[in-house]
A and B are shown apart, each in its own frame.
Chain A
Amino acid sequence: DGGITQSPKYLFRKEGQNVTLSCEQNLNHDAMYWYRQDPGQGLRLIYYSQIVNDFQKGDIAEGYSVSREKKESFPLTVTSAQKNPTAFYLCASSMASSGNTIYFGEGSWLTVV
């Protein structure tokens, strides 16, 4: 069954803790993305990666970190430096060529308690 798998679906974090959200895809896509969505708001780009071992900052990268050691995996770490991390996080992927459809995972809900 091909697709993008995000885990966990729900996560609670204490203030000051780092947490890592997992994103795995078996679509053989080169490009992967992380977006943040606050309630009732649009999608804001955190980081994206067009190829293994390379990634670029999006609009709101501060307080987040990523790695791309494998083509199929693009984990996102929400660090303690992110002051307001409570949000819905969406991972996505697409073929590397310009103008290809982007496919989303089911998302992860992160709540700071």
Chain B
Amino acid sequence: GENVEQHPSTLSVQEGDSAVIKCTYSDSASNYFPWYKQELGKRPQLIIDIRSNVGEKKDQRIAVTLNKTAKHFSLHITETQPEDSAVYFCAPLYNNNDMRFGAGTRLTVKP
């Protein structure tokens, strides 16, 4: 199955700084690369995604970049705010709807 790794496992930044989380995967056939945000005790929710024919996608303060050759994609959050504090998961798509999640990155934004 797909081998998914996220780095770092924890990240602490000051409010207003940028945060970057990287996800590496093993299956070169993966073609869909989403990021999910999970607040404490709640369900994960999609925040941004990208498909294999695109290298970068941006939505306000959030962006995702994809490097298919190196098999990794990254989540970029600029101008971080305390409400960005959560656990972030990547879930590169493997085997058509058999979606495996990374172990998660706990982001803490200090006011």
Binding site for B on A (CB under 8 A): 31, 33, 35, 41-45, 48, 50, 56, 58-59, 90, 94, 96, 98-107
B96 touches A98 (CB 8 A): yes
Which B residues are in CB contact (< 8 Å) with A58?
A: 98
Least CB distance, B33 to chain A, in whole angstroms: 9
Given A48-B97, A56-B98, A101-B34, A41 contacting B51 (CB threshold 8 A): no
Instruction: Show 12 A/B contacts (Cβ-Cβ < 8 Å), sorted by A.
Output: A45-B98, A48-B98, A59-B100, A90-B44, A94-B97, A98-B96, A99-B51, A102-B34, A102-B91, A103-B46, A104-B43, A104-B44
Q: Tell me the number of A-to-B contacts counted with CB atoms below 8 Å.
A: 59
- Inter-subunit contact A42/B43 (CB<8 Å): no
Consensus secondary structure, chain B interface = loop
Chain B residues packing against A (C-beta within 8 Å): 1, 31-32, 34, 42-46, 49, 51, 89, 91, 93, 96-104
Given contact pairs A98-B93, A99-B93, A102-B91, A42 touches B99 in the complex (Cβ within 8 A): no
The residue of chain B having its C-beta at the shortest distance from the C-beta of A96 within the complex is B97
CA distance A86 to B52 in the complex (A): 37
- The CA-CA distance from A45 to B4 in the complex, in Å, is 13
